[in-house]
Chains A and B, each alone.
Chain A
Amino acid sequence: MPEWEKSSTARVIPPARPRKLAKVPFVELADGRLQGVVSSGSDIERVYVSSVAADSIYSFGCSTNNNRPCGGARGSFCNHIIALINEAVLQYGPERVARYLRVEVEDPTAQAITTAMLATRPSHLDTKAAASVFSRFLRHLAYLELAATTEPLPEMQWFPPTREVA
């Protein structure tokens, strides 16, 4: 096998794992946060924009796409944030989520990661993240609307698939 440092096709990011998107259509590890969007169970027009920062005090935020604060996120993680953590673990694997959030647990699972964060009694509300997370979600959705092309993209030779999972 080629040496990673000297391979043109070294795999750098493990591929996301498939998961059901109905409840949490978007989750990502970016901008120093676990962040994403949770669809409201009662109103199809509404989504919650949720995030937890990898900042040792786990600053968190949750509000609707119309900037109304989530009632459940006063004082601690709401159910949206917990759903977000669960789905992030499905998509990226528990090790990667724990590493990104700098949560130290022996045997990472979604529950262990959540419990470890809650044990620090996170209380710092971060209301600034929502706008940028929501715009990143829209940008993510916009990929669906970009046209396919039949012109060759030779540089895709550098992006082989992999059968390994995260």
Chain B
Amino acid sequence: MRADLLASKPDGLDEAIAAVDAFDQALVAGLVRPQPAQAAGLAHLAEAVAGTPLASRVAEATEKAAAGVAGEDHFVALAAARTALLGAAHDALLAQVHEATGRPASAAEAAQATGSEAARNLLTAARSWLSDLARVGWQGLDSDVVAGSAQVLSAMLPDPSLRRLAVLLDGFAAELAASCPGATMERFPARRWADLWSRALLLTLPGGLAPTAIENATGRLLPLGIDLQEHATAVQVQVHAVFEPADGTGSQSSGPRLVRASVSAPKPDTVLGAGLWQMLRPHMSLLTAVSEGRAMELTDMPLTAEGDLIWSDSRARRGDPADPFATARVVLPTAADAPTAPLGRHPARIAVPVFLEGYAVGKDNDTLTLTVAGHPLAVDADRIPVAGPLTPETIAASGACIGLLRWDDGAFRVQPLAVETTIKKKLVAIHAGAWAGGTTDKDGVKAEKAATEAIVVLVERAGRLLRK
């Protein structure tokens, strides 16, 4: 990989981010009684989209917000402007990634389908809560404002078609609740909360939750590694893999392409570590295949234009052994990256599988770095799940790495999914998600046992106390 190409900044990136920051500061103080500094921040955002089709709506929204009289539609327009800027940043950064990896970008676009308008009342209620948040601002947070989300959340969580928004709002509201009262906070995660706020707001719009077009995929799935995401009350596991279509299937091309398979569930906050794998394991046979180092054969598995497989165990069967490092060395360089849906474009969404080897391991302050093609790439070791055999120490002693290239606050970093290292003169592969499908590792078995006990207690308590 030409990691050196990741060192430069795309043209206009700083300017776009500066406009985003200006708006984010306005949200810190809230838009009930905006001060001149906030009005200037809003104007900065409006100016940044002045040459786009959003210009007039955002200008109007800015004017209303600066006067303290913004309505929901105005907040939506502001969120849209912010999203558009970060979408442009995403595209520029991804172009840079494609140059560095030398892999073909998919020529296809992930057009969003038009969705049904189910649950309109809940979406309206969510939008109203988000508008209240923008008015009080992060500094004005109190437990009453945050509690305004509780009812809409309880109604949304059980509905699978609203799960995406519900899980976002749930994680967001928990952070806000833990930060109350806002007046006593010394600093604010301004970028993050404005990200969550604007994403949630756009998802409440008609079509916001609609999936991208779906085709049926038949062929071989070669796993690369596992990425875990969690907040207190939700967990998602994504398997990154290369899909090799069987001859003649797939409308886009018959070449290999990068895909993801996801499984997620809401959870009580005391289900942690190995408990996360246990909750998800029964719902996706692919996790077992990954732990066993196998490929899977897919038959008519739904696949979105964004490269997301909508997994169903009945459409997959166990394949031959397949070494992810062989996949990374041989197939990954020819695999096409999946496009991102227009509204999904954001630098935080960048998670591009890469294969690195022949690097020098170093340290920059406390951060591990892998120097590839003369460019030190920071390692995001904090994202490695605790319930797994991969540790920062293993990475420091590694010679090859499958990872996800990510971007946050001005720099690319690599999140290791697996490394090759030499233990007792033997080359071994160690995977972050090795325990996803179960494990015989001594520490793993111990972690599994503790997690099982926790889940058993909660299930017993639920069985006895719920519905009484």
Determine if B188 and A5 form an interchain contact, defined as CB atoms under 8 angstroms apart.
Answer: yes
Taking CB atoms, residues of chain B closer than 8 Å to A119 are none
Considering the complex, give the chain B residue whose CB is closest to the CB of A1.
B367
Q: What residues of chain B lie closer than 8 Å to A10, measured between beta carbons?
A: 189, 191-192
- Which stretch in B41-49, B164-172, B326-334, B434-442 binds the other chain? B164-172
Binds A, one of B58-66, B291-299, B451-459: B451-459
Given the known A-B contacts A153-B236, A162-B382, are A143 and B188 also in contact in the complex, defined by CB atoms under 8 Å? no
Q: Does A140 contact B (CB under 8 A)?
A: yes
User: Residues of B contacting A150 with CB < 8 Å?
Assistant: 261-264, 283-284, 309-312
Chain B residues closer than 8 Å to A3, beta-carbon distance: 409
Let me know if B462 and A141 touch, CB within 8 A: yes
Give B65-94 interface residues, CB cut-off 8 Å to A. none
Please give the distance in Å from B151's CB to the nearest CB on chain A: 11
B155 interface residue (CB < 8 Å to A): no
Contact between chains at B283 and A148 (CB < 8 Å): yes
Contact with B along A81-113 (1 / 0, CB 8 A): 000000000010000000000000000000000
Give the complex CA separation of A147 and B191 in angstroms: 31
Take A151-B310, A155-B164, A161-B383 as given contacts and tell me if A12 and B272 are in contact as well, using a CB distance cutoff of 8 Å. no
Among the interface residues B306, B346, B351, B462, which one has the most CB atoms of the partner chain A within 10 A? B462
CA–CA, A5 and B236, complex, Å: 25
Would you call A8 and B175 a contact (CB within 8 A)?
no
CB-contact partner of A25 in B158, B188, B457, under 8 A: B457
Q: Which residues of A contact B189 (CB under 8 A)?
A: 4-5, 7, 10, 12
| Closest Cβ neighbor of B281 among chain A residues | A148
Is B288 positioned at the interface, with any CB of A under 8 Å from its CB? Answer: no
- Which of A18, A139, A155 has the most C-beta atoms of chain B within 10 angstroms of its own C-beta? A155
**A42 close to chain B: CB less than 8 A:** no
Among all A-B residue pairs, the 10 with the closest Cβ atoms: A2-B409, A148-B265, A150-B311, A156-B229, A8-B348, A141-B462, A10-B189, A155-B168, A156-B236, A152-B262
Q: List 22 A-B contacts (CB under 8 A).
A: A1-B365, A2-B410, A6-B409, A7-B409, A9-B348, A12-B179, A15-B272, A18-B270, A18-B454, A139-B154, A143-B268, A144-B458, A144-B459, A149-B263, A150-B264, A151-B310, A153-B168, A153-B234, A155-B203, A156-B229, A161-B385, A164-B382
Name B's A-contacting residues (CB within 8 A): 21, 143, 154, 157-158, 160, 163-164, 167-168, 171, 174-175, 177-179, 187-192, 195-196, 199, 203, 211, 228-234, 236, 238, 260-270, 272-273, 275, 279-280, 282-284, 304, 306, 308-312, 344, 346-349, 351, 365, 367, 378, 380-386, 408-411, 450-451, 453-455, 457-459, 461-462, 464-466
Binding site for B on A (CB under 8 A): 1-10, 12-13, 15-22, 25-26, 30-32, 39, 44-45, 47, 65, 91, 137-164
